[in-house]
Amino acid sequence: MPKHLPYLSLTLALLLGAPALTRAAEPVVPIQKFTLDNGLRVVLSEDHSAPVVTVYITYKVGSAAEVEGRTGFAHLFEHMMFNGSKNVPEGAFGFYVDNTGGSLNGNTEPDRTNYFETVPSNFLEGMLYLEANRMASLVIDDKALDNEKGVVKEEVRQQQENQPFAKTILLDWPAAAFSSWAYSHSIYGSMEDLSNAPVQAFVDFFAQHYVPNNAVLVLAGDFEPARARALVEKYFGPLKRGPEPSAAFPAEAEQTEAVYKEVSDPLAPIPLAIVSFDVPPPRDPDRDALELLATVLTDGASARLPKRLVDDDKLAAAVIMQAGFPIPTYGPGQLATLLIASKGIKLADLRAAYWDELGKVQKLGISAAELKRAKAKLYKQYLDGLATTLYKASQLATYEVFFGGAEKLSGDYKRFDKITAADLKRVANKYLTQARSVTFDITPGGAQ
Amino acid sequence: MNRPLALSLAALLTLPALACKPKETAPPVDEAAQAAAKEAAAKDDARKAKNDEAAAKRAMLAALPPLPGVEAAKPVKFPDVDQSKLPNGLEVLILRDTETPVVDVNLVVKAGSIYAPPPTPPCSPISPPSSSPRAPRSAARPP
């Protein structure tokens, strides 16, 4: 091919306006799915663009599955899982993954706990071996528990007790925003509960939730599917099915009266207001409209809230509006706005301007140009979500566990296409009301 | 007993007493120093135990069997680069990747901070001569 041809063809394309002005070819996320006899659901997504593979396991257990007096278990297990199992001594999991040059991590949410490794694809079998081992035979004894309880307590001291706003965001705000005990208690749980629980309570928690029929395994990356399937069957096939998991999400009572709280935070460098609203679960059509509206209002410097609050009125240093803040729930959720005040600004004044902007949307709606820009932003977010094997694996797991199947990921941005400006005005009036709001004014001060 | 003899005997008797005195009244025990030494020794023991444990763990990890099924690393297939130059000298590199409908456009200008002129020093490193018209600092101070 002559060297100048790609440049010419690009120029021609731009001149003709064809691919530049219409949506490009549909990105497809190829998947194959199967379920083992023990109930483990497996999603394979080939991607040979680089010789790497992500192994991603979601266990459908999080802090919402805990019971009173036994909180903090879900997060503790996120740590315990990197300890020893029958054939993999303590410290070996991280050692093995480090030596591949790859990376690993895990995270805990109210509705699930995730574990993932991204490694050069020639280590795929090794990762399946490690994951299957800890699912089959995690060591849960006094020594391992004491060690990880210490680590978790230190994490809580660092992340919850010693970060600006964190105590309010992680403890006080969920307690006020969610009505169900399951969603309103802290993800870290009570350190007292962790200290008091007998070893058997942890063994039982693991036996109930860390079972193949409560998990989804996703492989995304460079592998040959038939061989990957054979390896999954080899390592996970012998595992025994556990108790049948519950599919129910916590029920949330509808809020009918505004909640307002003031908090002094000795670590806070500046005042911050949180204003949150009860919203439906992810992928509910109204939730989609609310997420699109949040994008209209805050995404980009020209969006309404940054323009008014930050640029024009200089009331705020920043404004963030996010559904699923700070950690997503897959049952009923919250749409939260964080209003970070400029120096010398009273939170009441900042909130008044915020409500004024919401009022304009409720009364006058939004423009076609704003809607188009927000949809373009969400489309780009969708494409960015397919950029790496880790992003893809994470999304495929989410779709398989919560959104009706991994196959629904391909092209799912289209669900925003049919949402109209009228929908946004309607959901603004239905959900973004004073009566459904929870407000926290956090001001610097108070005893540390 | 005459007096000088008595004195000599007394002196003799006294000498051992004096000689023994330091033993009886050994310098008071510095309990704080002893406790500190004991604590330091305990810390040292703990550090050694921790080091031993870490060494044992390193040895255990080094002796682990290899992960099962490790294959030879696969080669990275970097996309072909189509390189050209515009008549005005602009170099153009095109890498085709159709995995997702996204395009990155990067313009790299071969100019960085090393081409910036050196900053002008805020004040001369050499003191002005005494005949400088600048007023002495003390005179500039408000009364």
Residue B122 has pLDDT above 80, yes or no: no
Span of A276-285, A422-431, A434-443, B39-48 with lowest mean pLDDT: B39-48
Mean pLDDT score of chain B: 77
Residue B131 has pLDDT above 70, yes or no: no
Residue A24: per-residue pLDDT:
65
Q: Cβ contact (<8 Å) for B60 and A89?
A: yes
CB count in 10 Å sphere of residue A420? 13
Residue B3 has pLDDT above 70, yes or no: no
Q: Which of A75, A448, A409, A34 is nearest to A231 (CA)?
A: A34
Residue A418: per-residue pLDDT:
95
The pLDDT tens digits of the residues spanning A34-47 come to: 999 999 999 999 99
Residue B129 has pLDDT above 60, yes or no: no
Which token pair is A48?
């040979």
CB-based contact (8 Å) between B132 and chain A? no
Mean pLDDT of A352-381: 97
Residue B28 has pLDDT above 80, yes or no: no
Confidence of residue B24 (pLDDT cuts 50, 70, 90): low
Q: With contact defined as beta carbons under 8 Å apart, do A123 and A52 qualify?
A: no
Confidence of residue A30 (pLDDT cuts 50, 70, 90): very high
Q: Which of A79, A108, A107, A83 is nearest to A93 (CA)?
A: A83
Considering only the beta carbons, identify the residue of A7, A27, A91 that sits closest to B101. Answer: A27
Mean pLDDT of A54-76: 97
Residue A388: per-residue pLDDT:
96
Place of tokens 């694996």: A393
Residue B126: per-residue pLDDT:
58
Reduced to 3 states, what is the DSSP secondary structure of residue B134?
coil
Q: Which of A377, A374, A380, A382 is nearest to A423 (CA)?
A: A374
ipTM attached to this prediction: 0.83
Q: Cβ contact (<8 Å) for A95 and B64?
A: yes
pTM: 0.85
DSSP 8-state assignment for residue B114: G
DSSP 8-state assignment for residue B143: -
Span of A15-19, A360-364, A442-446 with lowest mean pLDDT: A15-19
The pLDDT tens digits of the residues spanning A241-269 come to: 999 998 899 999 999 999 999 999 999 99
CB-based contact (8 Å) between B90 and chain A? no
Query: Residue-wise over B116-125: b if at least 16 C-beta within 10 A, else e?
Result: eeeeeeeeee
Q: What distance in Å separates the CA atoms of residue A83 and residue A81, rounded to the nearest whole number?
A: 5
Reduced to 3 states, what is the DSSP secondary structure of residue B9?
helix
Q: What distance in Å separates the CA atoms of residue B68 and residue B61, rounded to the nearest whole number?
A: 16
Q: What distance in Å separates the CA atoms of residue A8 and residue A6, rounded to the nearest whole number?
A: 5
Q: With contact defined as beta carbons under 8 Å apart, do A327 and A169 qualify?
A: no
Q: With contact defined as beta carbons under 8 Å apart, do A275 and A256 qualify?
A: no
Q: With contact defined as beta carbons under 8 Å apart, do A445 and A270 qualify?
A: no
Which token pair is A6?
């790609």
Place of tokens 């005997």: B9
Confidence of residue A325 (pLDDT cuts 50, 70, 90): confident
Chain A residues contacting B via beta carbons under 8 Å: 1, 3-4, 6-7, 10, 23-25, 27, 47, 49-51, 89, 91-92, 95-96, 100, 120-126, 129-130, 222, 231, 380, 383-384, 386-387
Mean pLDDT of A135-159: 95
The pLDDT tens digits of the residues spanning A88-108 come to: 999 999 999 999 999 999 999
Q: How many CB pairs below 8 Å do chains A and B form together?
A: 76
Higher pLDDT, A40 or B33: A40
Cis peptide before A212 (omega within 30 of 0): no
Residue A26: per-residue pLDDT:
82
Q: Which of B100, B104, B105 to mutate to test the interface with A (most CBs of A within 10 A)?
A: B100
Q: Which of A1, A5, A7 to mutate to test the interface with B (most CBs of B within 10 A)?
A: A7
Q: What distance in Å separates the CA atoms of residue A320 and residue A329, rounded to the nearest whole number?
A: 18
Residue in chain A closest to B58 (alpha carbons) equals A91
- Which residues is A316 bridged to in the sheet? A341
Span of A208-217, A330-339, A400-409, B127-136 with lowest mean pLDDT: B127-136
Q: What distance in Å separates the CA atoms of residue B107 and residue B95, rounded to the nearest whole number?
A: 14
Residue B124 has pLDDT above 70, yes or no: no
Residue A11: per-residue pLDDT:
38
Q: What distance in Å separates the CA atoms of residue A73 and residue A187, rounded to the nearest whole number?
A: 9
Instruction: Give backbone dihedrals phi and psi of A258, rounded to 5 degrees, phi first.
Output: -60, 145
Residue A373 has pLDDT above 70, yes or no: yes
Q: How wide is the angle at C-alpha A161 spanned by C-alphas A157 and A163, nearest 5°?
A: 110
Q: Which of A51, A32, A52 is nearest to A43 (CA)?
A: A32
Residues of B whose CB is below 8 A from A123: 67, 70
Q: With contact defined as beta carbons under 8 Å apart, do A171 and A185 qualify?
A: no
Span of A276-290, A430-444, B117-131 with lowest mean pLDDT: B117-131
Which token pair is A138?
């995690």
Q: With contact defined as beta carbons under 8 Å apart, do A267 and A164 qualify?
A: yes
Q: Which of A288, A269, A276, A208 is nearest to A242 (CA)?
A: A208
Half-sphere exposure of B134 toward its Cβ, with a 13 Å CA cutoff? 8
Report the 3 state secondary structure along chain A.
Answer: CCCCHHHHHHHHHHHHCHHHHCCCCCCCCCCEEEECCCCCEEEEEECCCCCEEEEEEEECCCHHHCCCCCCCHHHHHHHHCCCCECCECCCHHHHHHHHHCCEEEEEECCCCEEEEEEEEHHHHHHHHHHHHHHHHHECCCHHHHHHHHHHHHHHHHHHHHCCCCHHHHHHHHHHHHCCCHHHHCCCCCCHHHHHHCCHHHHHHHHHHHCCHHHEEEEEEECCCHHHHHHHHHHHHCCCCCCCCCCCCCCCCCCCCCCEEEEEEECCCCCCEEEEEEEECCCCCHHHHHHHHHHHHHHCCCCCHHHHHHHHHCCCEEEEEEEECCCCCCCCCEEEEEEEEECCCCCHHHHHHHHHHHHHHHHHHCCCHHHHHHHHHHHHHHHHHCCCCHHHHHHHHHHHHHHCCCHHHCCCHHHHHCCCCHHHHHHHHHHHCCHHHEEEEEEEECCCC
Residues of B whose CB is below 8 A from A224: none
Residue A221 has pLDDT above 70, yes or no: yes
Residue A12 has pLDDT above 60, yes or no: no
Residue A137 has pLDDT above 60, yes or no: yes
Mean pLDDT of B101-123: 86
Residue A134: per-residue pLDDT:
98
Q: With contact defined as beta carbons under 8 Å apart, do A242 and A212 qualify?
A: yes
Mean pLDDT of A271-287: 97
Residue B121: per-residue pLDDT:
67
Residues of B whose CB is below 8 A from A95: 61, 64
The pLDDT tens digits of the residues spanning B66-109 come to: 999 999 999 998 889 999 999 999 999 999 988 889 999 999 99
Confidence of residue A436 (pLDDT cuts 50, 70, 90): very high
How buried is A311 (Cβ within 10 angstroms: 0-12 exposed, 13-18 middle, 19+ buried)?
Answer: exposed
Which token pair is B105?
């456009």
Mean pLDDT score of chain A: 93
The pLDDT tens digits of the residues spanning A338-354 come to: 999 999 999 999 999 99
Q: Which of A232, A220, A230 is nearest to A135 (CA)?
A: A232
